[in-house]
Amino acid sequence: MARILVVEDNVQNLKLAALLLRSDGHEIVPAADAREAEEALSRSVPDLILMDLGLPGKDGYTLTRELRQRATTHDTPILAVTSFAMKGDRERALEAGCSDYVTKPIDRTDLLRRVHRLLGSPSSAAAAPGGPV
């Protein structure tokens, strides 16, 4: 079981992600935007962050870049969630510092497989050569 910060502005998407992750035994900390995410992170650092890239105000790319600059979240696995299925967007997410990437609509098996892999390898910050599976 892990504690997962879910940053997602869409209520239905947040509910679905929380449902899927809770069904796998994880504790969810929800955040509707970057500001709420910052507040949650100021209280405690989660084991993993599920990051919607399209957020009102500060977007997920910018927030990810900022989190990578901080010692506390430098190595925290960040799994990007986006509706943009194009290859360029995936690369942009990884360049921003995301560890891996899932596409909406979220598939339970795919989500949990990637979550498990990221939780199993703390040094997942390296979405480097070869990239994520």
Residues found near Mn ion in the complex (CB under 5 A)? 9, 52, 54
The Cα–Cα gap between 99 and 94 comes to 6
Closest chain position to Mn ion (CB)? 54
Give me the least distance between CB of 40 and Mn ion, in Å please. Answer: 17
Give me the least distance between CB of 84 and Mn ion, in Å please. Answer: 11
The Cα–Cα gap between 47 and 107 comes to 21
Give me the least distance between CB of 57 and Mn ion, in Å please. Answer: 11
Give me the least distance between CB of 83 and Mn ion, in Å please. Answer: 8
Return the structure tokens found at 71. Answer: 């010692």
Residue pair 109/95 in contact by the 8 Å Cβ criterion: no
| Minimum CB distance to Mn ion smaller for 104 or for 117 | 104
| Minimum CB distance to Mn ion smaller for 47 or for 54 | 54
| Minimum CB distance to Mn ion smaller for 9 or for 66 | 9
Per residue in 67-92, is it b (16+ CB within 10 Å) or e — as a string?
A: bbeeeebeebbbbbbbebeeeebbeb
| Minimum CB distance to Mn ion smaller for 12 or for 123 | 12
